[in-house]
Amino acid sequence: MAEAEKREAIWIARDLSKCSGCRRCEVACSLFHEKRIWPEASRIRVFMLAPGIEFPHFCAQCEDYPCVEACPTKALSVSTETGAVLVDANTCIGCGKCIEACPGKIPHMHPTENRILICDLCGGNPQCVRVCQEGLWNVLMIVPRRAHSFKLYARTPEEITRDLAVKIFGEEGEHLL
């Protein structure tokens, strides 16, 4: 695709505290990739470890891709076009080494197949962003991919929850988990 090559690589900026918990991003992601509404097979998963503290958890495309490094079968690669982590389903043995390597423990196993799920940026046209924007929640936004420290966004659900709880509930947030 000549046109796609010319396109600047993108990154999905995220403003987690505004997340409504609508999960339309999961619906869109799973419909796009699996042709089903399938929350557990969505590459973007909304965590709600406490009600009101919903946020989308998905790949941050770290600048040094620790998951790709960690894969013993080289099932993971970086798309030269989009910068997304690509999973070769045939090579992936479902060992979980990439999950361990990910600072945010973001990759997760496909619920029925022995392969890992990681956001592929929908080949450059992210469905989750489309629906999040459509609903004006604007948690997810497309920005050009620059040489930034995106790895800082790879955080575990617990870490994110802890901080958001205090941001949203104030002092009370410390006690709710």
Binding site for ligand SF4 (CB under 6 A): 19-25, 28-29, 32, 43-44, 46, 56, 58-62, 65-67, 85, 102, 104, 106-107, 118-122, 126-128, 131-132, 137, 139-140, 154
State whether residue 166 is helix, strand or coil: helix
Residue 125's contacts (CB-CB under 8 Å, 6 or more residues apart) are none
Pick out residues in 122-151 that bind other proteins (CB under 8 A): 134-137
State whether residue 37 is helix, strand or coil: coil
Residue 171's contacts (CB-CB under 8 Å, 6 or more residues apart) are none
Helix (H) or strand (E) holding 129: helix 127-134
Residue among 46 and 162 whose Cβ is closer to ligand SF4: 46
Q: Which of 77, 79, 125, 156: binder of other proteins (CB under 8 A)?
A: 156
Q: Which of 9, 13, 22, 166: binder of other proteins (CB under 8 A)?
A: 22
Task: Pick what 83 binds: other proteins, ligand SF4, none; C-beta below 5 to 8 Å, kind-dependent.
Answer: none
Q: Which of 10, 11, 12, 23: binder of other proteins (CB under 8 A)?
A: 23
Helix axes 24-34, 127-134, angle to 10 degrees: 150
Residue among 10 and 30 whose Cβ is closer to other proteins: 30
Under a CB-based contact definition with an 8 Å cutoff, are residues 131 and 27 in contact?
yes
Residue among 147 and 175 whose Cβ is closer to ligand SF4: 147
